[in-house]
Amino acid sequence: MLKIADVSSYQGNNINGILGANDGVIVKATQSTDYVNPSYQAQVDATRTAGKKLGVYHFIQGNVDVNSQAQHFLDTIGDLATDDQVPLILDFENNSNYPVLSGNEPRQFADYVFNKTGKKIWLYISNSDIRGGGHGYYWSDMQDNPVWVAGYPLNDGSGYSQDLQDWADQHYFSNLPWWGENVTMWQFDSNPYDQSVFYGDQSTWDKLSQRVNKPVEQPAPAPQPEPQPQPSPTVTQPTEPESTAASTAPVQSESASTSTSATNESSSATSTSDNSANSDSKPTGVHEYNASFLLKVANAIIDFFNHLFKK
């Protein structure tokens, strides 16, 4: 449980005493479309310097464009709008100085802020207004948002006690419409300043304050070295070995070379033809010579045997 105070211009720039007695401070930032708490920045800086939990809120005003009020709030709080440890809160309460609220403002304001920041608005509302407040308020469209209930059993500055909590549990929270027992914070006293208790620790505070649809940050690509110019490759033409004849022969024209080539081909063909003819005639003479010789030998052998048998 955390002890929380909320402050506005009434507390001025010096809130050191309040900071010393509490675990966190919720600062009024804006109202309507043009008002900014003149002590807003000093109070925010003091809270952060003290290392306390910080929240900021907008006081909604009836009959004024809701989206314009929401944008005025976001413009004023700047980077706090996306700080995952700072809740954004809408103060919904009727004031006799302003038109009566319709009850539609919280959902429209919450949707606008969510679309811009990814955060769920916390709703500050009295116990009476939760139960309709005589205006027929109906909160089914806000029951998923954290709720900060205002209700003062004593309002005498005596501070928070377990007896006070037991009374509130019985009379406020045991039969609370829409939120039931899921109360985020209770403002139990406004004397000498607004005092509340937050039902959770610092990690719970941060969890309810963070962006629901926080974008995933993509890692930056690793730097790539710049390409260096490459030297052009040197192309070496292969050198064919030159024959002695080619190196000493005179250069001929293309037509002369062609004529010479044709003549060489003709001579080659003639030589081949002559050789073929010689090759065909030579074996014929050799065969005839051998046949005549063998015939003579055979006749001689026959004569020899005839002569031998006659004896």
User: What is the residue extent of each domain of the chain?
Assistant: 2-209, 264-311
> Is 310 a residue whose pLDDT tops 80?
no
Of 86-100, 120-134, 213-227, least confident by mean pLDDT is 213-227
Contact 25, 19 (CB under 8 A): yes
| CA atoms within 13 A of residue 100's CA, in its CB half-sphere | 7
pLDDT of residue 274 exceeding 60, the answer is no
Q: Is the pLDDT of residue 245 over 70?
A: no
- DSSP class of residue 248? H
Cβ–Cβ under 8 Å, residues 137 and 129: yes
**Taking 80 as the threshold, does the pLDDT of residue 303 lie above it?**
no
Helix ranges restricted to H, 118-182: 127-130, 162-168
pLDDT value at position 190? 95
Residue 218 in this model has a pLDDT that exceeds 50: yes
Gap between the Cα atoms of 196 and 191, Å rounded: 11
pTM: 0.69
How far is residue 80's CA from residue 99's CA, in Å, rounded to a whole number?
29
CATH number of 2-209: 3.20.20.80
8 Å CB contact between 196 and 4: yes
CA distance linking residue 148 with residue 120, whole number of Å:
13
Residue 59's φ and ψ, nearest 5 degrees, are -90, 110
How far apart are alpha carbons 220 and 306 in whole angstroms? 124
